[in-house]
Amino acid sequence: MHFAQEHTQSYYAASANAATDFARLKGDIRADICVIGGGFTGVSTALTLAERGHTVCVLEANRIGWGASGRNGGQIIGGISGEAKLADASPELGKLVWDMRWRGSEIIRERVDTYKIDCDLKHGYVDVAIKARHVSDLEREEARLGEHDYPFEHRLLSRSETRDALGTDSYVGSLMNMGNGHVHPLNLCVGEAQALASLGGAIHEQTAALKIDRGDAVRVSTAEGSVTADFVVLAGNAYQWLDRSLRGRIFPVRSYIIATAPLSDEQLDTINPHDLAVCDPNFVLEYFRLSADKRLLFGGRCNYFGEDPQVIQRELRPRMLKVYPQLKNVKVDYAWGGTIAVPVNRVPQLGFIAPNIAYSQGYSGHGVNVTHLAGEIIADAISGKKERFNVFAGHRSPRIPGVNRFGNAMVSLGMLYYGLKDRL
Ligand SMILES: Cc1cc2nc3c(=O)[nH]c(=O)nc-3n(C[C@H](O)[C@H](O)[C@H](O)COP(=O)(O)OP(=O)(O)OC[C@H]3O[C@@H](n4cnc5c(N)ncnc54)[C@H](O)[C@@H]3O)c2cc1C
């Protein structure tokens, strides 16, 4: 039994262009491909498949973008978590992985353009350094961008340039990358779903997939109907409960965001005049950016402490004020959280659990970009084109014993460990 939920009370849900209301599935239908999960992975995969002429059906247990895709920091960050492990084997593989680093962002830009999706897409991002060793990492990354003739503006910023760009003394340097950027993620996800529907794709909200019967044709059962399909794609990521063995391969890590009241132009000028998205390098990281209506959206990874906005605000606001003490009188209007899927080896998990049942999950904090890449790779793999798929399939992450039963307790321990490591 699954009880469908509405969106969490986030700034994104409050500022969504449209509240989706795709009908529940009632009755038995047929599709070439049935996608389970209506976040970026599911919608993006389905849209790619529909663009290629397949009939697709997306089943979403709650609402389109209800999971991490409609709740995240909205930072479009090039790169793939764990990518050093992927690229090592040969120069050819290195080139393939380098191109994949940016493909998801490219797909987002193409879609926003093609389907005229109104989602506040902006260019401009900085990776900030907290310690000297982070500066060395950024210098290496800058050199790599140069070696690969990266087509967007990119530049190392000194400590004082970083202070001028971000109005805080918290960082010792940064790397600006104008190919990365930020977006209203829920509006992007919903816009892509509407594009899918315009191409004839079927979308059913409040329709949990409850059971999968394998075979030459796969049958996915829901409370009031079923989809029979040649292929099924599991795209539930950290919110997936249907296949416990897949769930057992990821840590469900919690991340929370607060959104301030809209800031004045003077305040904006002191804290982020160039409207850059910002992310720090810690595992227990902080990330922030401005919304289109001038709020500071400040996020951080944290221990699990539930969904109560008051509690979230109590935990995150002091972290925001450490970076921006000048905002001490600014009200917080929204506070919410979501779950990120983090594999032990940090490499996104793309694979098949049966010849005609694929999955994609575990992007850590790079999901906005990588889900869009993954959608294309899974669509390719379904039609037998597996070059990029095989890069990931060769890196299976080990199962995490007990994570299905003791998830939150294990996450707390994990956050403690990584928090200590960040401080070294
Ligand atoms: C607070 C937060 C901040 C983040 N910030 C960033 C960021 O700034 N940049 C970045 O790149 N990444 C960020 N991420 C990560 C990113 O959001 C995710 O990696 C990405 O959205 C995952 O997309 P997804 O479609 O795979 O999963 P989700 O968006 O979680 O979607 C999964 C969907 O599957 C549905 N589902 C599950 N099981 C079933 C079933 N049986 N039947 C039907 N439906 C089902 C769920 O209801 C859900 O809607 C953040 C995540 C969080 C939580």
Q: Is 39 in the pocket of ligand 1 (CB under 6 A)?
A: yes
Q: Is residue 266 part of a domain?
A: no
Q: Is residue 379 part of a domain?
A: yes
Q: Which residue out of 6, 107, 237, 303 has the highest number of ligand 1 atoms within 8 Å of its CB and is therefore the one to mutate? A: 237
Locate the ligand 1 atom nearest the alpha carbon of residue 338 and give its number: 53
Q: Which residue out of 241, 287, 340 has the highest number of ligand 1 atoms within 8 Å of its CB and is therefore the one to mutate? A: 340
Dist CA 294 CA 91 (whole Å) = 44
Q: What single letter denotes the amino acid at residue 92?
A: E
**What is the per-residue pLDDT for 414?**
64
Question: Domain of 400: which CATH number?
Answer: 3.50.50.60
Q: Is 212 in the pocket of ligand 1 (CB under 6 A)?
A: no
Q: Which two tokens stand for residue 302?
A: 């944290």
Locate the ligand 1 atom nearest the alpha carbon of residue 67 and give its number: 30
Q: Is 343 in the pocket of ligand 1 (CB under 6 A)?
A: no
- Measured in degrees and rounded to the nearest 5, phi and psi for residue 56 equal -130, 155
Q: Is 206 in the pocket of ligand 1 (CB under 6 A)?
A: no
Is it the case that residue 416 has pLDDT exceeding 80?
no
Q: What is the pLDDT of residues 374-404, one digit of tens each?
A: 999 999 999 999 999 999 987 877 777 776 6
Q: Is residue 104 part of a domain?
A: no
Q: Is residue 24 part of a domain?
A: yes
Q: How far is the CA of 64 from the centre of ligand 1 (A)?
A: 10
- Measured in whole angstroms, the distance separating CA 82 from the mean position of its chain's CA atoms is 15
Q: How many domains would you assign to the chain?
A: 1
Q: What is the pLDDT of residues 257-285, one digit of tens each?
A: 999 999 999 999 999 999 999 999 987 88
Q: What is the pLDDT of residues 86-100, one digit of tens each?
A: 877 677 888 999 999
Q: Which two tokens stand for residue 112?
A: 């926003």
Task: Report yes or no: 62 and 205 within 8 Å, Cβ to Cβ.
Answer: yes
Q: How far is the CA of 155 from the centre of ligand 1 (A)?
A: 31
Q: Which two tokens stand for residue 59?
A: 């089943």
Task: Report yes or no: 38 and 205 within 8 Å, Cβ to Cβ.
Answer: yes
Q: Region 135-147: what's the mean pLDDT?
A: 96
Is it the case that residue 415 has pLDDT exceeding 70?
no
Task: Report yes or no: 173 and 69 within 8 Å, Cβ to Cβ.
Answer: no
Q: Specify the higher pLDDT residue, 88 or 168.
A: 168
For the chain, first and last CA: distance in Å? 46
Q: Is residue 363 part of a domain?
A: yes
Q: Is 363 in the pocket of ligand 1 (CB under 6 A)?
A: yes
Q: Is 255 in the pocket of ligand 1 (CB under 6 A)?
A: yes
Q: Which residue out of 182, 368, 372, 376 has the highest number of ligand 1 atoms within 8 Å of its CB and is therefore the one to mutate? A: 368
β-bridge mates for residue 254, sequence order: 302, 339
Full domain range(s) for residue 28: 11-71+186-249+344-405
Beta strands in 261-303 (DSSP E): 277-279, 286-290, 296-302
Q: Minimal CA–CA distance to 344: which of 268, 282, 401?
A: 401
Task: Report yes or no: 28 and 34 within 8 Å, Cβ to Cβ.
Answer: no
Q: Minimal CA–CA distance to 360: which of 372, 374, 347, 346?
A: 374
Q: Is residue 319 part of a domain?
A: no
Q: How confident is the model at residue 111 (pLDDT cuts 50, 70, 90)?
A: very high
**Residues sharing a CB contact under 8 Å with residue 139, sequence separation 6 or more, in sequence order:** 156
- Strand, helix or coil at 60? coil
Q: Is residue 390 part of a domain?
A: yes
Dist CA 193 CA 43 (whole Å) = 6
Q: What single letter denotes the amino acid at residue 346?
A: R
**What is the per-residue pLDDT for 418?**
62
Q: How far is the CA of 251 from the centre of ligand 1 (A)?
A: 13
Dist CA 137 CA 77 (whole Å) = 16
Can you tell me which residue has the tokens 């970026």? 40
Q: Which residue out of 45, 239, 357 has the highest number of ligand 1 atoms within 8 Å of its CB and is therefore the one to mutate? A: 239
Q: How far is the CA of 184 from the centre of ligand 1 (A)?
A: 14
Is it the case that residue 128 has pLDDT exceeding 80?
yes
User: Residue 206 carries which DSSP code?
Assistant: S
Q: How confident is the model at residue 202 (pLDDT cuts 50, 70, 90)?
A: very high
**Residues sharing a CB contact under 8 Å with residue 179, sequence separation 6 or more, in sequence order:** 78, 102, 105, 123, 150, 151, 152, 153, 154
Q: Which residue out of 11, 35, 69 has the highest number of ligand 1 atoms within 8 Å of its CB and is therefore the one to mutate? A: 69
Q: Region 219-239: what's the mean pLDDT?
A: 97
Q: Is 104 in the pocket of ligand 1 (CB under 6 A)?
A: no
Q: Compute the C-alpha angle 159/365/10, nearest 5°.
A: 100
Q: Which two tokens stand for residue 398?
A: 């080990």
Q: Is 35 in the pocket of ligand 1 (CB under 6 A)?
A: no
Q: Is 240 in the pocket of ligand 1 (CB under 6 A)?
A: yes
- Tell me the pTM: 0.96
Locate the ligand 1 atom nearest the alpha carbon of residue 363 and give its number: 19
**Residues sharing a CB contact under 8 Å with residue 343, sequence separation 6 or more, in sequence order:** 82, 249, 250, 251, 349, 362, 364, 397
Q: Is residue 329 part of a domain?
A: no
Q: Is 407 in the pocket of ligand 1 (CB under 6 A)?
A: no
Is it the case that residue 154 has pLDDT exceeding 70?
yes
Inter-helix orientation angle 91-114/185-198, to 10°: 80
Q: Region 223-227: what's the mean pLDDT?
A: 98
